Amino acid sequence: MGMTKADRRMDGWADGAALLALLLLSAYPPIRLSAQDTTAGRAVYEKWCAGCHGETGAGDGPAAGTMLPRPRDFTGAIYQIRTTASGQLPTDDDLRLAIDRGLPGTAMPGWKDQLSERDRRDVLAYLKTFSAFFADTTQRPEPLVFGKEPGGGTSVDALRIGRQFYDSIGCRKCHGDRGRGDGPSAPTLKDDAGFPVFAANLTENWRFNGGSEVADIYRRLRSGLDGTPMPSFSDLIDQQFLTEAELWRLAQYVRSLSPARPPEVRDVIHARQVAARLPTSPDDSVWGRVERYWVPLVGQVMRKSRWFTPAASGVWVQAVHDGQQLALRVSWDDRSQSPDSAWLEFTDRVLETVARDDSTPPAPTPWPDQLAVQFPLAIPEGFERPFFLMGAATRPVYQWRWTSTPGGVREDSLSAAVAGLARGIDRFDPLPGTPLSAQAVYDQGEWRVVFSRSLATADTANQLHLRTGRAIPVAFFAWDGSNGETGTRMAVSTWYFLALDTPVRAQVFVSPILAAALALGLGLTLVRRAQRPRSQIRRRSDA
């Protein structure tokens, strides 16, 4: 709705008669609240917001303790999503945008589809009563003038200029060379309240708090994310270090680090059959031609100790086989090559901050990074699969586990990867002498691990016999040691399918898999919804 200048001007009209007239004319509740309007906004707030933001708006609702970043403390009136200068209040339009869209990448959901327009206006007005700053009518927030985005934003020249300023302004100190949030300052970052905060991963723009597109990014660069270490760069324009047009180029460069569209989630991971040698190295050029599948991960919140704030938001999976062997590559962003003692203080702060359901926080240790790929012990005939969360004592699952510190999985093992049986979330029994190999590289904030194993196995009692042309259930788990993730504190996926395609009779084999996937589609969606935090559900349905 086009409620912009006129409404803001309205805020300043203190005269009761004028207000009443406007109220009757526009049905828009003015910000100088009548008792009745406060009541309406308050009712909405108490029902939908107080659980996180707290009754008094201090950001300390009953659910707040599990969240990082924490829900906003409205009493401080410090806001991220602004079109105003750093240190200024947001405009009503800014607040409206934050409430409508939510803050992607955090627990803050968007409310556009959940609440009526009237409820959203009322609650916005009520939010402002938590801080006296909004009552001061001599300090109306003034939006910055942003100018227009220069064209040609995806051209080589534009991106080169953008990259130049990315380096010279020092974005990489926090965000890292490739933008994965792994810069040298990253382990030291805290927000104004002293909570640990990650430098945003600039390759996942769908998780930017203030929106994913060039104009959103540009606004954040001009306004900063107040309350966090992310500064405003408007002063660099004032100091003529760069022009507005050049800052736009920087925003265009940042946008170019993410894919054109957020990755799409598909149920079946296809492994093509290749005649050539299988790529066993993570950086084999063959991987550049193998399709990638995005598998989203969420915190493990079903079993104690639960984990609400996992570092990894998903993994990319690629697979090829040659009829004898399977090569499976998993790549995921991780800001730290754990164990890394530079992150130990950060780990400590995370564990101190995020409530766990066991009473004493574990002493922070430089834990390794880990990954698990999970299959059932045998390919199921029907749709029944073991419990996705690492099976059960009576029904184990077959897993490949990789760790960044070989020997961390099994003292006597020199291999970084080991196959074994998980019998529930806290019991993993390695299978000695299994023919599984793995190679890993850590590169600029990303792990790439290739697992290789023969399709067939003689030990079908303990190991999965991989077969072509079947829908093989598969699931993934990731741990970022520097984020305090070990044991049950991890990121999990639900079941997906791996299909080892065959070139000759592709048609014959693909269709039963598709049929199975279709039949399962609904079940999968429900499982995923149950696993996914509310904010993500809403964001997907927004898209």
User: Contact with ligand HEC (CB under 6 A): which of 75, 131, 185, 415?
Assistant: 185
The residue among 212 and 273 lying less far from ligand HEC, judged by its C-beta, is 212
One-letter-per-residue 3-state SS of 84-134? CCCCCCCCHHHHHHHHHHCCCCCCCCCCCCCCCHHHHHHHHHHHHCCCHHH
* CA 101-107-111 angle, 5° bins: 30
Q: How far is CA 489 from CA 20, 66, 309, in A?
A: 55, 13, 9
Give yes or no for residue 210 binding ligand HEC (CB under 6 A): yes
Give yes or no for residue 209 binding ligand HEC (CB under 6 A): yes
The residue among 67 and 372 lying less far from ligand HEC, judged by its C-beta, is 67
Least distance CB 413 / ligand HEC (angstroms): 38
Q: Please classify residue 105 by burial: count the beta carbons closer than 10 Å to its beta carbon, then call 0-12 exposed, 13-18 middle and 19+ buried.
A: buried
DSSP class of 285: G
Least distance CB 135 / ligand HEC (angstroms): 17
> Binding to ligand HEC (CB under 6 A): which residues in 116-135?
123, 127
Q: What is the DSSP string of 403-471?
A: ESSTTSS-TT--SSEEEEEE-STT-EEE-TT--EEEEEEEETTEEEEEEEEES--S-TTTS----TTSE
End-to-end Cα, the chain, rounded Å: 19
Cβ atoms of 418 and 401 within 8 Å: the answer is yes
**How many angstroms separate the CA atoms of 262 and 139, rounded?**
39
Segments in 176-296 forming alpha helices (H):
214-223, 234-238, 244-256
Give yes or no for residue 257 binding ligand HEC (CB under 6 A): no
Give yes or no for residue 195 binding ligand HEC (CB under 6 A): no
Q: SS3 for 324?
A: coil
Least distance CB 534 / ligand HEC (angstroms): 7
State which H helix or E strand residue 334 sits in. none
One symbol per residue from 84 to 113: x for binding ligand HEC (CB under 6 A), - otherwise; what is it?
A: -----------x--xx---x--xxx--x--
User: Contact with ligand HEC (CB under 6 A): which of 158, 225, 390, 498?
Assistant: 225
Least distance CB 128 / ligand HEC (angstroms): 10
Total number of residues that touch ligand HEC (CB under 6 A):
48
The residue among 254 and 499 lying less far from ligand HEC, judged by its C-beta, is 254
User: Contact with ligand HEC (CB under 6 A): which of 228, 256, 486, 488?
Assistant: 228
Least distance CB 318 / ligand HEC (angstroms): 28
Give yes or no for residue 199 binding ligand HEC (CB under 6 A): yes
Q: Chain centroid to CA 441: how far?
A: 22
Give yes or no for residue 29 binding ligand HEC (CB under 6 A): no
User: Contact with ligand HEC (CB under 6 A): which of 42, 72, 128, 470?
Assistant: 72
Residues that bind ligand HEC (CB under 6 A): 48-49, 51-53, 63, 67, 69, 71-72, 79-81, 95, 98-99, 103, 106-108, 111, 123, 127, 169-171, 173-175, 185, 189, 197, 199-200, 202, 208-210, 217, 220-221, 225, 228-230, 233, 250, 254
